[in-house]
Amino acid sequence: MSDPRHNAGIGMTSARTRERLIQRLRDQGLANLAVLDRIRNLPRHVFVDEALASRAYEDTALPIGFGQTISQPFIVAKMTEALLLGGPLHNVLEIGTGCGYQTAVLAPLVTRLSTVERVKPLLDRAKLRLKELGIKNVRFRHGDGMQGWKAHAPYDAILCAAAPLAVPKALLEQLSPKGGRLVLPVGPEGAQELYRIVRRDDHFIRDKLGGVSFVPLVAGTA
């Protein structure tokens, strides 16, 4: 590929470095092989600044500009696993594209992925990266994810990568009534919980998946 970062520091992007990350995820209880394989094969260093590339395979969040971060691989794996539990996904919505890493992990595991980001330059860069990676089943939107993306609803699943104080109503409404599921962090900084909410007609069944730390979901666009 033309991006010089693909060749930067062979050591830090080596198969061994990536395998160490996968082992760490397994040690923490992640078991979905499709998800682990996807994380193993997707280069994470192309999603961060060159200066941070040497840290790309650490299991940590890293800055991507505009006060935002690329999600920690453990969290990406955990949310993707939670989303996939319950069968194959055809129509999926992601809120908070960021640098596009979570988008790129999820895209090949579903039929169609729609992603919404409020910060335009982040969205534009993510779009370019995914194109370079040959990912073609993603549609992008610059907008306020709190409103979901009604045009393509209902969704089999929605993944939200930023934390609202309360679950946005629009996201619940845009879930398929036949088992559509929403995975998202909820709560103020320092006290967030990850939830999976499954919709059966007008019933919403909530599961808590543990404490997490996300940037806030902010209304409006930038």
Whether the Cβ atoms of residue 187 and residue 213 lie closer than 8 Å to each other: no
Output 179 or 209, the one with its CB closest to ligand SAH: 209
Output 48 or 198, the one with its CB closest to ligand SAH: 48
Output 101 or 156, the one with its CB closest to ligand SAH: 101
For CA atoms 194, 96, 165, 61, the dihedral sign is positive
28 CB-near residues (< 8 Å, 6+ apart) = 74
Q: Cis check for the bond before 154: say yes or no (omega within 30 of 0).
A: yes
Cα separation, 216 vs 162, in Å, equals 5
Cα separation, 176 vs 116, in Å, equals 18
**71 annotated active-site:** yes
**Choice among 71, 114, 176, 213 that is catalytic:** 71
Output 13 or 97, the one with its CB closest to ligand SAH: 97
Cα separation, 126 vs 166, in Å, equals 27
Q: What is the DSSP letter of 215?
A: P
Q: What do you get for the CA distance between the two ends of the chain, in Å?
A: 31
**Least distance from ligand SAH to the Cβ atom of residue 167, Å:** 13
Output 66 or 204, the one with its CB closest to ligand SAH: 66
> Which positions touch ligand SAH (CB under 6 A)?
64, 68-71, 95-96, 98-99, 101-102, 116-119, 122, 144-146, 161-162, 215, 217-219
Structure tokens at 115: 């992603």
What's the gap between Cα 25 and its chain centre? 16
